Amino acid sequence: MDIDVPTSESASARFERWVLPEVDVLLRVAQSITRNTHDAEDLVQDTMLRAYRSIDSFDGRYPRAWLLTILRNTEINRHRRRRPSLLTAAQQTLPDPIADGGATAESVVVDLTFESAVEDAFEHLSDDFREVVELVDIGGLSYAEAAEAADIPEGTVMSRLHRARKQVRTRLEKQGYVAGRPR
């Protein structure tokens, strides 16, 4: 990747260019990691401050991956709180789809059931698997960016991600949310 950055560019300009556009992604991943709106906001604030402090040494490659690495390290350094129950997290974060659009109550219930089943399956993944799902499906990173963020080879990102989704799928299948794989 060829990035042309004037060496004289101020920290502020670099921060505006690389960090501000990623706030939404950072918040989504933070929310997934902390399962709590308040902690997520704190985590993103700390991440932005750390990013600002190290912005001069950042080479401009993969800004999103760079930021997510900072976010994860920040979270590791923070006091790890026990995750509140899934239900609480879901109540805090789920928008009200009926109010938002014209969906019927029934289809909303079906969607919510499916989505909470997926969420439950996600919770049952190992940490390594959850990490790649967070980076790719929640953070929207490419395999290459996720490899950079998690500091693992791209092939490992791919195999973990695919196995993680297969596990989710198997769990949904057992619970009857999706049909078994046709033979």
Partner 1 sequence: MSILGIIRRHRDARKMSCAEVGEVLQQYLDGEYDSDRAPLVRAHLEVCKRCGLEASVYTDIKEALAHQVEPPVESRDRLREFGERIAHGDISADGA
Check residue 79 for interaction with partner 1 (CB under 8 A).
no
Is residue 158 close enough to count as binding partner 1 by CB under 8 A?
yes
Span near partner 1 by CB under 8 A; candidates 16-24, 60-68, 76-84, 102-110:
16-24
Q: Does 174 bind partner 1 (CB under 8 A)?
A: no
3-state secondary structure the chain: CCCCCCCCCCHHHHHHHHCHHHHHHHHHHHHHHHCCHHHHHHHHHHHHHHHHHCHHHCCCCCHHHHHHHHHHHHHHHCCCCCCCCHHHHHHHHCCCHHHHCCCCHHHHHHHHHHHHHHHHHHHCCCHHHHHHHHHHHHCCCCHHHHHHHHCCCHHHHHHHHHHHHHHHHHHHHHCCCCCCCCC
Q: How far is the CB of 34 from partner 1 (least distance, A)?
A: 10
- Verify binding: residue 19, partner 1, rule CB under 8 A: yes
Q: How far is the CB of 76 from partner 1 (least distance, A)?
A: 18
Interface positions with partner 1 (CB under 8 A)? 12, 15-16, 19-20, 23-24, 26-28, 31-32, 37, 40-41, 44-46, 48-49, 52-53, 92-95, 114-115, 118-119, 122, 133, 136-138, 140, 142-143, 158, 161-162, 165, 168-169, 172, 178-179, 181-182
